[in-house]
Amino acid sequence: MDELQRRSESQRSEAIPVAHTVAGRYGALIAAGEIEHDSAQDKVVHALDALNEVLAETGPASKKSALGWLFGRRGAAKAPVRGLYVWGKVGRGKTMLMDLFFDIAVPRKKRRVHFHEFMADVHERVHAVRAQIRDGEISGDDPIPPVAAAIAEETRLLCFDEFTVTDIADAMILGRLFTRLFELGVVMVATSNVDPDDLYRDGLNRGHFLGFVALLKTRVDVLCLDARTDYRMEKLAGAPLYLTPLGPEVEAGLEELWRKLTHGLPAHSEELEAKGRRIPVTRTAAGVARFTFAELCEQPLGAADFQRIALSYHTIVLEGVPVMDLPQRNAAKRFINLIDTLYNNRNKLVLSAATEPDGLYIARTGTECFEFERTVSRLIEMRSREWLQDPAG
């Protein structure tokens, strides 16, 4: 971007017309035969468009006042912008609709992130601010306000994929953090598999977390996406999930499955966080992630990394699994751990490989040759109709 264009972009008002709509993009997918119309999805589509119109009409928080965004040009008080919390079972199209919305959402300062990655970033910021307070670089004793201020300066629209709370450290700071973020005009849009009232259910000291649930319900509209079916099953029904041998025909078949699973939406890249490490995901759309064998099994990834991936996407597409021998035992071990993790989390798996499962590891010594027998069994099960129809996945 040249300097003139950069200045032009910086001078544009956030109160700009909504040139594209979620409804328009959703209708185009229906017309193209990528998806079928669903009345439950349609309700979410119109709610997202309504939110985008409000975002187009209202500006970000004033730099002079945390409450400046509440007032119009004549000083008349306006209600805060309510976000959206869309929840429902896996495979009902929540992530697809988020894809459609985020691409055309009006605010320039917008961020889309898995909730786990967002909270990892928050904890890093809190740690850094506490160090600044300790060293006398900034005043005060509470790191949350400056952390919230920094996030609000960077982001007006905060979109979460798979909003869930399982960590007590997250649960204990969410109320204070989002109280401040909402005051600063940050708008949340989230997808989740659970009703807000069921967040952090049975969690340690959950009573301290309920204030956040009450706050959330005052600042977002809660919609249940009760779509009629698991659309993943429809897309994969009757299709071969294990494609072999490698070659142009299998590559074409994998591309077609990818297109069906992602409804033809463009892929984007992102990073996942696992115990301080960053896992690059080069291609993802509509809750599906696509990896090469080299990206997952020839890199120093472990069980925690694979678990992070399994929890972030309902379906994994893995391409190019080769025949492995003793020199590739490390890659074989990672492949074993990967399949174990996806199996235990009931993920759907689409895979292309050089040969059938029982021919993928040909070494006759070492523990991997015995462990691989379990992998073979699981690969066969994960390509079955029964696996595909399992509602737990």
**Most confidently modeled range among 46-60, 70-84, 245-259:** 245-259
Model confidence at 59, in pLDDT bands (50, 70, 90)?
A: low
Q: When comparing pLDDT for 242 and 13, which is higher?
A: 242
Report d(CA 58, CA 69) in Å as an integer.
Answer: 8
Q: Tell me how crowded residue 208 is: count the other CB atoms within 10 A of its CB.
A: 15
What CATH number matches the domain at 231-388, 3.30.40, 1.25.40, 3.90.320, 3.40.50? 3.40.50
The residue assigned the tokens 């109160």 is 15
Q: What is the CATH number of domain 3-224?
A: 3.40.50.300
Helix (H) or strand (E) holding 150: helix 144-154
Please, which residues bridge with residue 187 across strands?
157
288 and 325 in contact (C-beta within 8 Å)? no
* Per-residue DSSP letter, 16: -
* Closest of 307, 363, 300, 296 to residue 335, by C-alpha: 296
Q: Which band of pLDDT confidence, cut at 50, 70 and 90, is reported for residue 18?
A: very low
For residue 42, the tally of other CB atoms under 10 A from its CB is 14
Domain extent listing, the chain: 3-224, 231-388
In whole angstroms, give the CA distance from residue 267 to residue 165.
26
Q: What is the pLDDT of residues 121-135, one digit of tens each?
A: 999 999 999 999 888
pLDDT of amino acid 180: 95
Q: What is the pLDDT of residues 271-288, one digit of tens each?
A: 998 877 889 999 999 899
Q: What pLDDT band is residue 7 in, cutting at 50, 70 and 90?
A: very low
Q: What is the mean pLDDT of residues 351-367?
A: 93
Read off the pLDDT of residues 145-185 as tens digits, 9 standing for 90 and up: 999 999 999 999 999 988 888 888 888 899 999 999 999 99
Q: What is the pLDDT of residues 133-144, one digit of tens each?
A: 888 888 888 999
Crossing angle of helices 144-154 and 168-183, rounded to 10°? 60
Q: What is the rounded average pLDDT for all residues in the chain?
A: 86
Q: What is the reported pTM?
A: 0.74
Give the DSSP H/E element, type plus range, for residue 130.
helix 115-134
